[in-house]
Structure 1
Amino acid sequence: MPAKTIIITGANSGIGRAAAARIAGEGHRVILACRSLEKAAAARADIGGNTIAAELDLASRRSIHAFTDWVHQELDQVDVLIHNAADFDLSKTEREMTADGFERIWFTNHLAPVLLTDRLMDRIITSPQGRVITVSSKGLLAHPFQTVNIDDPMFATRRFTPAAAYYQSKLAQNMYTIWLAQQLSGTMVTANAIRVSKVKIDLARFPDLPQWMKNLYALKSLLAITPEQMTETYARTALDPSLRNRSGTLLDHQLKAVPFPAYAKDPLCIERVMILTYRQLGIQPAVTFSDASGPAEPTGFR
């Protein structure tokens, strides 16, 4: 298999780091895109291979622009973009706003991946078989009535909890994956989501977590898989030739297709969420769906 160029966000720890090591070990070039350049460099030194440390803070629009500018200067194409990084700090009791004026979890977990993908689409589209991979959570199964609050996605007037913000953002990413796969129809680029199962958590990353929560997660870890086990799903979704024509699919940790939540599949709900997304970002989609009869304007983006 020819060497590919793969960007993994949040690749300095956990599943992201394990995936970077696994993929780099096969001879591919991996960009470790991390909020802390120092931590990215430390991970690069440990992983070795053809890896590059890069700074990318997904809570900062300026950082996203700087990173994508760097990609355009240094890379002719991007074969795979894995949206691994996410904000889910259970110790938070109040919403936190970014410097750009967005609720941090909503921006980091949903708006930022959309913006990052859009700004890199010209590099992904040049790949012989580009892949965009988002990351969902099996925890959504425990929230069957979860929706995206179109009127208040950033908890300006409703009660904030990190879990509510996180699962809303992950549901929105499910919807983005389905939408993006439709927009990319007819191209060589695919968009799929990985549903992460219960994975052992490094509790040292959350020093402010209440002790009862630490005890709960320690108990859950007894039934959880390791980051290395989840890594195999990342690697195969990124590299497996048999998946080259699969798009708009949610894959579990065993690489089996599983259904998206009913709300996430509703075409009208998807349209509303994507209109909201691009309106908040203040940009037009980088790709729009067209069929054999000719170009078609994406509904809602006129």
Structure 2
Amino acid sequence: MRTFSASDVPSMTGRTVVVTGANSGIGRVTARVLAAKGARVVLAVRDLDKGRAATASMTGHIEVRRLDLADLSSVRAFAEDLTEPVDILINNAGVMIPPFSRTADGFELQFGTNHLGHFALTNLLLPRIRERVVTVSSNAHKRGSIDFDDLNWERRPYRAMAAYAQSKLANLLFTSDLQRRLDQAGSPVIATAAHPGLAATNLLRSDRLRLVQPALTLLAQSDDDGALPTLYAAVAEIPGNGYAGPSGFLEGRGAPKLVGRSPRAQDAETAHRLWEVSEELTGVAFPGHLLHTT
């Protein structure tokens, strides 16, 4: 069976792609590949200087715009300023197992950034999205659960990895309920998800992983290979709610393919409830009446 590589990304001329967190890691690779294929790529980054530095390795039509997913006012400002059509939105940015902290709006940092920030951004941009929304999750979602009684870790002792796993599970539940809503609205847009396997990105350089960093680095695939599932989810002929990941051992590395997800990530009732809670927390709702339909 022929495998997917960056060379299989078709011409993207005439398309606009927004990539969050595109100043490093798989986000930077994703942006670089799509720009080289002719897309107009918007790097949505928290640090403009780092974003501009990332463009040094890219060719094509590239813009850098500020977006802080840990601040809903920044998310709204970004969406208001981006008035033109967007063909593909890639929700790539994320934080992994930081010390306990909160977003500007008071949410636990990982849930607030990885899920709520992208939830708000997607719904604000949806009336202008024409093709696809790709959200980057993680194999860590299999260890996650959604604690609706304490989403923001206000009652329990904080466990950074458990909080990360919850946020990555939320990414997949968001994708599935988004696809359900798009289908009901008659929209041609599809929602997909991807995970990079074990990729040697900045996320693996967390101080909390320092004892196992040598082993992780040895086992991890490169940023270039880690970006392939995201690119596959963005451009390949796959169904709505499709989930792409590496095809190798334990989905840690290898060419991308459609992969499975945990039973919790397939729970439609939990996905629907999480969506409703996310609307309440962000003040952003699904813009069904504003969508382009088939």
Deviation string, structure 1 residues 229-261 (Cα, Å, up to 9, x no partner): 122222232223x23xx1012111333222221
1:22/1:231 contact within 8 Å kept: no
**Match of residue 270 from structure 2:** 269
Q: How does 1:163-182 map to 2 (within 5 A)?
A: 163-182=161-180
1:38 lines up with 2:76 in the alignment:
no
Q: Which runs of 5+ in 1 are unaligned?
A: 289-302
The alignment's C-alpha RMSD in Å is 1.9
- 1:203: how far off? 7.3
Shift of 1:15: 0.6
Partner of 1:201: 201
Q: Is the 8 A contact 1:193 1:249 kept in 2?
A: yes
Are residue 112 (structure 1) and residue 117 (structure 2) matched?
yes
Match of 2:154 among 146, 156, 166: 156
In structure 1, the residue matched to 2:222 is 226
SS for the counterpart of 2:14 is: coil
| Match 1:7 to one of 6, 18, 22 | 18
Q: After superposition, give the CA deviation of every residue in 1:59-91 in whole Å (9 maximum; x if it has no partner).
A: 01111111111101xx2x10110011001144x
State the match for 2:242 in structure 1: 249
Q: Give the TM-score normalised by structure 2.
A: 0.86
Give the Å deviation of 1:101: 1.7
Provide the C-alpha distance between the structure 1 equivalents of 2:212 and 2:205, rounded to a whole number of angstroms: 16
How far apart in 1 are the matches of 2:203 and 2:172?
Answer: 27
How far does the alpha carbon of each residue in 1:179-226 deviate from its partner, in whole angstroms, 9 at most, with x for none? 0111111321000110220111347964xx16xx32412211211111
**Alignment match of 2:106 (pick from 83, 101, 108):** 101
**Does the Cα contact within 8 Å between 2:72 and 2:282 map onto a contact in 1?**
no
**Structure 2: runs of 5+ lacking an equivalent:** 1-10, 247-254, 290-294
Give the conservation status (yes or no) of the 8 Å contact 1:31–1:52: yes
Rounded to whole Å, the distance in 2 between the matches of 1:214 and 1:50 is 38
State the one-letter code of the partner of 1:233. Answer: P
Count residues with an aligned counterpart. Answer: 269
User: Match of 1:70?
Assistant: 81
Is 2:62 aligned against 1:54? Answer: no
Aligned counterparts of 2:216 and 2:151: Cα–Cα separation in 1: 29
The answer to whether residue 88 in structure 2 is matched with residue 80 in structure 1 is yes
Deviations 1:112-147 (Å, cap 9, x if unpaired)? Answer: 1110001101110xx2xx100011111334x2xx31
For residues 265 and 231 of structure 2, the distance between their equivalents in structure 1, rounded to whole angstroms, comes to 25
Distance 1:45 1:255 in 2: 27
